[in-house]
Chains A and B, each alone.
Chain A
């Protein structure tokens, strides 16, 4: 072997060896993934065991609760005793006079600033920004199960789902309903209508403008254009036929669709 080859080989061994060492070290430590919170769906007769099991999975995974609770330095222990008052399920009903365990835990998760214990800092985030209402109730069931009685039921889940969905669920995604609002502008913004249409200076003039649309089309025409946009092109926009997503009828409730249609029809 020539001197040049020997040197190149040594350099390659040092480089690859260093990389291998770092890779080995990184693979030798505990491997922890940050999981995506999974959407939960329960039937009307969901059992307590199912709720608790789902809650435990969220608590130890996507909820990230263990990053602070249980370490004894950042936030109160939940699964073990805290200041001689027992685990969270045993003590949650005594924390606020007149407020039962379930209500207290729910408020702690969505209004974390309301209850800050002892010397701990107000670092708890509003969990409704990262977990869905169902996930939050599942976690509450799990916490109640830590030394207490689980009172979370299917009724709580149904009531939560009927209320306004959380930001985590409605994050920008064309495949999910964008908003629960009945405000036409908010509905249109949530469904990203203004990425192609313009109204009073807002949006982009790619598709037919919304300004004066009520003078050009009837409410019936507008409704049909939203529900079946590929059926007929507006004059001057033939090249875009088929470009508008055909699923807005699924992304809005019937009420929302009607609000939008009537609002646009009024733009004369």
Chain B
């Protein structure tokens, strides 16, 4: 039995265990009621630490196995409709990683359920009483998802031509549908804990809570959307890191070229989806405020206020690392040297924006600190730390990163249309106008009331999105039939660029842990907000320092396990290397292209 098959068998056993465990949810609920024990105890790190680590690792693997299928099915579609076999092979390679990671997801899920049942039996009993039906449904979907995945991967070669290829692609879509529903169900459990329906009180017997009202709670859909996008970001980042690792270890030019391209695709998807993520984050934040002002204030201006400074720092690193990777990558594109002088200006803009975004504003301060500042805000930083400045900084960062992508895309192309110069000038004008709108509303925001100021962020976002859409449309039209300045030299990438992909993967993973802490932590000492109180010795919500240690530990364990899984995957099967990437493809379109625009 190969290592890969052995892992899959282990994973199947874990799935069966999970099924048995979840199908016994009702029994556990009754057990909890019969047993007066409210909490168990876990040695050394305590119950909270144990649950935290298990939940975080399960979530990280789950995000990976939900994000990568989206990635794979899009790549397969490009392969089918673009008639490019390399994308198809890329999709298959992603799916192979997925197959093994799925087992790890199930194992951590089983660990989490066992720990919940033993360390928090009363809470588990309560949740099982509310959600028992959805838990059974969840398990059923888990099986459907698993077997669809097996069909999708093992049927790859059998259904690779003609109409059967479309059937195979449909399996990939179906896999995504199952995965999305599974995630939505699990999200309902955790969002219920954050925002239970208003008619649920401490005296409400859990079995009397209406299931649909518990599922469709105030933060359910915002979390669904936020996680859906975040999973794409995460999947792209991990695939990028995988490609970087393979690139560094590559022994042939073909391998290096393949993994260089794969890393680029991973980074493109990750950064592309990251640009959209803040908008989903605003939606989630608004819904939290709508649900409960106190919870919103706790999140943004209470004991968690410093968390957003850390988040800004992390996202700043992500933007800088993503742009750095693009700028270094332009070194392997003939013609890109003409854009090189601009990179230092983009770097300055990005750094300034990160500094503004990371500026603290409203902080909990004691009397002495207030006196030292001369007021409730710092005399200088207080001006930069407000939302007007921060929103402006974020939008300018997004515009700058988009410009990096645009220059990367244009690097080795020479438009042949007669209006190319005019088109370029119009594009530049759109950038300038968009930036001007963003800055104007940023400054104007200082002179209006808060409620008006909040509305300005919508205009800023719309200006940026409109600019991106317009510039892309012009670019596609302008580069149709364009000449090539030379083939992209895939594989001729300095090794230092690959470490940027590792920084991206680590930062994304850490950021997920941090945001998970924020989401869970705003419940403070409530298991279910203002309904089920946490009376355990671990009820206090820890400070960021402690949280960061747990998050780092989780990320380290996750990456070590992912490394092991990739290694085992390599033992079971040789990496799927595409053909040498020298043949030409159709030019134009927004998808990342692994080859030069022309064939010279």
Q: State how many residues of chain B have any CB contact under 8 Å with chain A.
A: 75
Q: Are B203 and A190 in contact (CB under 8 A)?
A: yes
Residues of B within 8 A of A66 (CB): 364
Q: Are A247 and B29 in contact (CB under 8 A)?
A: no
Asked whether B471 is an interface residue with its Cβ less than 8 Å from the other chain, the reply is: no
Given A171-B533, A195-B33, CB of A68 within 8 Å of CB of B205: no
Q: Measured between C-beta atoms, what is the minimum distance from A250 to chain B in Å?
A: 11
Contact segment of A33-41, A47-55, A95-103: A33-41
Question: Among the interface residues A33, A129, A195, which one has the most CB atoms of the partner chain B within 10 A?
Answer: A195
Given A34-B541, A178-B203, A194-B207, CB of A67 within 8 Å of CB of B245: no
Asked whether B278 is an interface residue with its Cβ less than 8 Å from the other chain, the reply is: no
Sorting the interface of chain A by its residue count into under 10, 10 to 19, 20 to 34 or 35 or more gives 35 or more
Question: Among the interface residues A36, A170, A190, which one has the most CB atoms of the partner chain B within 10 A?
Answer: A36
Complex Cα spacing A94 to B362, Å: 30
Contact among B301, B370, B510 for A74, CB-based, below 8 A: B301
Residues of B within 8 A of A22 (CB): 310, 314, 507, 510, 548, 551-552
Question: Among the interface residues B29, B364, B545, which one has the most CB atoms of the partner chain A within 10 A?
Answer: B545
Complex Cα spacing A26 to B312, Å: 12
Q: Are A167 and B530 in contact (CB under 8 A)?
A: yes
Asked whether A45 is an interface residue with its Cβ less than 8 Å from the other chain, the reply is: no
A178's nearest neighbour on chain B, judged by CB, is: B203
Please provide the chain B residues from 155 to 198 with a CB less than 8 Å away from any CB of chain A in the complex.
none
Contact segment of B225-233, B269-277, B498-506: B498-506
Q: Are B205 and A174 in contact (CB under 8 A)?
A: no
Residues of B within 8 A of A4 (CB): 249
Complex Cα spacing A107 to B533, Å: 25
Question: Among the interface residues A173, A240, A245, which one has the most CB atoms of the partner chain B within 10 A?
Answer: A173
Given A70-B370, A194-B205, A206-B30, CB of A11 within 8 Å of CB of B502: yes
Q: Measured between C-beta atoms, what is the minimum distance from B312 to chain A in Å?
A: 11
Asked whether B424 is an interface residue with its Cβ less than 8 Å from the other chain, the reply is: no
Asked whether B599 is an interface residue with its Cβ less than 8 Å from the other chain, the reply is: no
Complex Cα spacing A171 to B523, Å: 14
Asked whether B583 is an interface residue with its Cβ less than 8 Å from the other chain, the reply is: no
Chain B positions 352 through 377: 1 when the CB is less than 8 Å from some CB of chain A, otherwise 0: 00000000001110110010000110
Asked whether A16 is an interface residue with its Cβ less than 8 Å from the other chain, the reply is: yes
Complex Cα spacing A74 to B450, Å: 11
Q: Are A244 and B34 in contact (CB under 8 A)?
A: yes
Asked whether B298 is an interface residue with its Cβ less than 8 Å from the other chain, the reply is: yes
Contact among A16, A71, A172, A192 for B362, CB-based, below 8 A: A71
Residues of A within 8 A of B292 (CB): 125
Complex Cα spacing A16 to B507, Å: 11
Asked whether B525 is an interface residue with its Cβ less than 8 Å from the other chain, the reply is: yes
What are 18 A-to-B residue pairs whose CB atoms are below 8 Å? A11-B245, A15-B559, A18-B507, A22-B552, A23-B551, A32-B364, A34-B524, A64-B294, A67-B301, A68-B297, A72-B375, A72-B376, A73-B362, A170-B203, A172-B126, A175-B38, A189-B203, A195-B205
Residues of B within 8 A of A (CB): 29-30, 33-34, 36, 38, 122, 125-126, 129, 201-208, 245, 248-249, 292-294, 297-298, 301-303, 306, 309-310, 313-314, 362-364, 366-367, 370, 375-376, 450, 499, 502-503, 506-507, 510, 521, 524-526, 530-535, 539-549, 551-552, 555-556, 559
7 closest pairs, A vs B, by CB? A26-B548, A171-B533, A195-B33, A31-B543, A34-B541, A67-B302, A27-B545
